Structure 1
């Protein structure tokens, strides 16, 4: 598997998160972010159950340009 690093939170300094990648083979998007707090997880699980092997993550609004770039890379290959 080869991942293309798209970028990370411009305000994260030397810390690694949040960040975004695109899987070069499948064009899947991968995100690293903050695990959502219990209130957020409870609210989101009203719409979709959250299995034990999944988690809700929070990515800050300031990462929208990075996420758009990841979407473009995945779409255009």
Structure 2
């Protein structure tokens, strides 16, 4: 099943397009967002959290999406929740 488009940053301009999709088959949220600056990425990589290794594992990334997209993220969660297997 293809990704289900849920929403795009309402303030999207010509060159920016943070976007949220729902992958119902994989039961995952998919985000497109801004790459962080090196300072934020380093801070994320160095932050200790229970059950989380230090660093950013290969194949993972830190992204940023604006708070004005919270309603879109909630909608994407609702899409997945309605399609839980």
Figure out how many residues of one structure are paired with residues of the other and give that number.
77
Q: 1:15 to 1:6 in 2, by over 3 A?
A: farther
Name the residue aligned to 1:37. Answer: 37
Give deviations 1:26-53, integer Å, cap 9, x for gaps: 2211000001111100111112411232
Query: More strand by proportion, 1 or 2?
Result: 1
Deviates more, 1:14-23 or 1:54-63: 14-23
Higher mean alpha-carbon deviation, 19-28 vs 45-54, is at 45-54
Q: TM-score, normalised by structure 2?
A: 0.80
Name stretches of at least 5 consecutive residues in structure 2 with no aligned partner: 48-53
Q: CA RMSD in A?
A: 1.5
Structure 1 moving runs of 4+ over 4 Å: none
Unaligned runs of 5+ in 1: none
The residue aligned with 2:59 is 53
